[in-house]
Amino acid sequence: MMVLGSCRGLIILILYFLNALVWIPVVSLLGLLKALVPLAFFQKWIAVAFSQVAYLWVDVNNVFHLLDKTRWAVELPADLEKNHSYFIIAKHQSWVDTLVIFKILNRKVPA
C-alpha cells in the first residue's frame, strides 16, 4: 500500500511540473507584452489576463488533488470577499504550503 501512495505522489508531482511547463511560457509572454506595450488600456487588459492565468493554473493543479488522499482541515473567515485585497503571511514549513494556500484561496480572493 505504501508503494501505491508513493507512486501516486510521484504522479502528482510530475503533473504539477507539466502544468508549470504549460503556464510559465504564458506568464512570461504576458510579462514581456506588459513591459513592451505601455498603453493604459493594454496594461489593464494584461492585469486581467494575469489574474485569469493564475486562476486557471491553480484550477488545473486542483484537479490533480483529486488523486491525492490527503484530507485537510482548514478554517477560513466567512467574510472573505473577492473584491477586497488581503495581505497573506505564511510561515512556510515546506514547499507544499504554497500549494495549500493556492488551493484554499483560489477564486475566493483577488489573484
111 residues of the chain, pLDDT tens digit each? 566 667 888 888 899 999 999 999 999 999 999 999 999 999 999 999 999 999 999 999 989 888 877 777 778 888 888 788 888 877 777 777 788 888 888 888 777
CA 29 from centre of chain: 18
Cβ neighbour number for residue 62 with a 10 Å cutoff: 15
* Residue that has been written with the C-alpha cell 514581456 in this structure: 32
Distance CA 6, CA 74 (A): 24
Cell numbers linked to 63: 484537479
Q: Rounded to two decimals, what is the model's pTM? A: 0.76
Task: Look at the chain and count its residues.
Answer: 111
**Under 8 Å between Cβ of 61 and 103:** yes
